[in-house]
Amino acid sequence: MNRREVLSALLLSVVIACHTAFPQSPGAAPARVPDFALVALPDTQYYTDEVRGAKFEMFTAQTGWVARNKTRQNIKAVIGLGDIVDHGEATVEWQRADAAYRILDRAAVPYALTLGNHDYDHLGITDNRAATRYNACFGPARFASYSWYGGGYPAGSNENFYITFPAGAGSFLVLALEYYPRTAALEWAQTVLDANPDKQVIIATHAYLDRDGKRLVKNHSHGPDADGLTSAANNDAEEMWSKFIKRNRNIILVLSGHICQGISVMARRSDAGEHGNLVHQLLADYQLFTGGGSGYLRIMKFRPSKKSIEVTTYSPYLNTYLTDASNQFTLRYAGATRR
């Protein structure tokens, strides 16, 4: 073999070695973002009071189902929509609520509970908004050891509070706002969102949508002034939208209860925020159904690969779904927030 042939052979061996060490292959497809679920618990008040045919077992059936299906359904968090109890001054009702949510504590499922009008110390609440028993049961001390707990307002209370958790390709923040939140609470909420611009945000507040899909306002039968919240510092749903919700690009969902309906008609609407983000707003409250609600809950299955949220309504107590268009539907989901 002459010198030229030797050099050619050496060059060929180097090329072969490089291709062996660094194999050439088509670009790999991006990893599929896994589906995940969030669960909403509408007004549970009759389960804790055991009236209108409701049973406490309906409440524990809900949280027990979440605990058992945490892995299979990839459930990331539970969101309570207010009116945890029927009588804010009734110790036994808070004890039942505590026991139901302890099931989620033991299963290590994050949860956020919004404060309903029945959760205040007295049914006829006034602008002093005393929530002694609520805070004793679901105040900061309960959540202090959990990494997903963000903090509450006013100081030393959870009348407004938030949680964070990873889900899909990003992170979520659930913000639980008090019943017709005070302006100071909205201002606090804005500081929370300002500090978390990377997270997709879900707002939970007890009173927001009416049965006709319109946002609740003052001087309305369900407005804040109907419950003694007469100060201008209390914001109705339309004010919440204009002052806070529509101004934040990373809010994707608003969940509420409060409005009782004896037939299977729940409300929803979707509006664009100031930054073009689509904000879905959903009402669910089953307490006037047979059995005081019969344990119906909302499952929101996020499917990032399909850019959708599949909403279903299910009772673990009855092992039954509601499949009408008001209780089973699909929403558009843009995915992680872009900035």
**Mean pLDDT, the chain, whole residue set:** 91
Burial string for 199-217 (b: 16+ CB within 10 Å, else e) reads bbbbbbbbbbbbeeeebbe
pLDDT at 218 over 70: yes
- Dump pLDDT digits (tens) for 115-142: 999 999 987 788 999 999 999 999 999 9
Kindly list the domain boundaries of the chain, sorted by start residue: 33-332
Query: pTM here?
Result: 0.90
Strands 308-315 and 75-80: unpaired
- Dump pLDDT digits (tens) for 312-327: 999 999 999 999 999 9
Q: Please state which CATH number belongs to domain 33-332.
A: 3.60.21.10
| pLDDT the model gives residue 16 | 39
324: left (phi over 0), alpha (psi -120 to 50) or beta: beta
| pLDDT the model gives residue 139 | 98
User: Could you tell me which residues come within 8 angstroms of residue 165 by beta carbon, excluding any fewer than 6 positions away?
Assistant: 76, 77, 110, 148, 171, 172
| pLDDT the model gives residue 125 | 83
Nearest to 118 by CA among 135, 102, 131: 131
Residue pair 58/317 in contact (Cβ under 8 Å)? The answer is: yes
- Dump pLDDT digits (tens) for 291-312: 999 999 999 999 999 999 999 9
Question: Within its chain, how far is the Cα of 118 from the centroid?
Answer: 20
Residue pair 131/121 in contact (Cβ under 8 Å)? The answer is: yes
pLDDT band of residue 17 (cuts 50, 70, 90) is very low
pLDDT band of residue 143 (cuts 50, 70, 90) is very high
DSSP code string of 183-212: HHHHHHHHHHHHT-TTSEEEEEESS-B-TT
Omega before residue 42 within 30° of 0, cis: no
